[in-house]
Structure 1
Amino acid sequence: MSLEIRIAASTDAEAACHVLRRSITECCELDHKSDPAILDAWLGNKTPQMVANWFSSPTNFSLVAVSEGEVVGVALLTGAGKLALCYLLPEARGRGVGKALLARMEEQACGWGVKALQLHSTATGKAFFAQRGYIDAGMVRSPYGVETVFFWKQLDADASAPDGAKRKRFCNCNSV
């Protein structure tokens, strides 16, 4: 599988919207439990125009993952250090696409000087983020009615591990 991670363009909005809608509908059943009210609320703002607006916002950094000419993943980081989107097509799961998107988002956050990245994960994504060093800070109900896990991860290189040992250097955030 060839994989390209690149900055999302407004021309990617329709394909990215397709990824979001399929991922939520097909991969997040554990979260929405096929409840039409929850699905309608969750999918309500997942339109090509809204996604294009997110991509064009100067305060967001958006990526798409492209495999064999098809957008198979989408991620969005806000300037405040929140990973707002990280979704894949069902058939792209387990192939390293999510890891690649997340790694690039962490690099971007670090480049912006963000000290800690935060996100709200579905139950479906909980293990994925936990395996990548994100710390579970408790449950939060989303505006669309799904219980999410609030996760965060320290990114700055000088952060000490709980035992007092220095963490492995992630990036050059503090070298500026």
Structure 2
Amino acid sequence: MQNKRGIAQAFSEPPAGLMLRRATVFDVFDLSRVLIRSITQLCRVDHGDDPQAVAEWTANKDPETIRGWIKAGAQIWLAERAGQVAAVGGLREGGEITLLYIDPAHTGLGVGSALLARLEQELAAAGCTEAQLEGTRTAQAFYIRHGWKPTGGCAARKSISCFEMRKSLHPVDSGLRTAHPGDMTR
């Protein structure tokens, strides 16, 4: 079952040499670079190399805006690999993943999976039983592999493709039966 695989991945260790941590205001230039490189190079199927769509999508990915997100207390996470910021993720209260972008130089190495697992862990630790996100066509298969289910399209985004997705954050049923008080014998 895909959801069991997704939950198992959510609680596994990141690949060796990968560090996951909360971003600080000192990271804003690297975060901006990763966001813009990911959008422009990896999300072509979504923006179709339309300069207007790319400009709209990246307009709020500048260092000053990102600094504002961090100062306002947003949970912005990053993955560092070999001393470089390799991915950026973000969370919002209520169980929403707001960002998950991988630098093109770090795709296919487990960086995105590790950061997604960390974001899911953070949401579960905050008491969320379900997570939601808006994913691109580029990322949809990635999320599905990690147990996410498409739930519809995003109405707010006009210039890029977008899919609303959800995932249960309940722990996997281990197959063990839980004893109920009436089941106990003295």
Shorter-chain TM-score range? 0.7 to 0.9
Instruction: Supply the RMSD in Å over aligned alpha carbons.
Output: 1.4
The structure with the larger Rg is 2
1:60-139 to 2 correspondences below 5 Å: 60-139=74-153
Whole-Å separation in 1 of the counterparts to 2:117 and 2:173: 15
Whole-Å separation in 2 of the counterparts to 1:168 and 1:25: 40
Q: How many residues align?
A: 159
Unaligned runs of 5+ in 1: 158-166, 170-176
Whole-Å separation in 2 of the counterparts to 1:37 and 1:23: 17
Identify the range of structure 1 (8-17 vs 134-143) with the bigger mean alpha-carbon deviation: 134-143
Question: Taking every aligned residue pair, what percent have the same amino acid on both sides?
Answer: 31
So what's the TM-score if we normalise by structure 2?
A: 0.81
Secondary structure of the 2:118 match is: helix
1:47 aligned to 2:52? no
Partner of 2:165: 151
1:37 aligned to 2:45? no
Instruction: Pick the structure with more helix per residue.
Output: 2
Contact 2:19/2:80 (CA < 8 Å) preserved in 1? yes
Whole-Å separation in 1 of the counterparts to 2:173 and 2:91: 23
Secondary structure of the 1:124 match is: helix
1:2 partner amino acid: G
Give 1:144 deviation, angstroms: 5.3
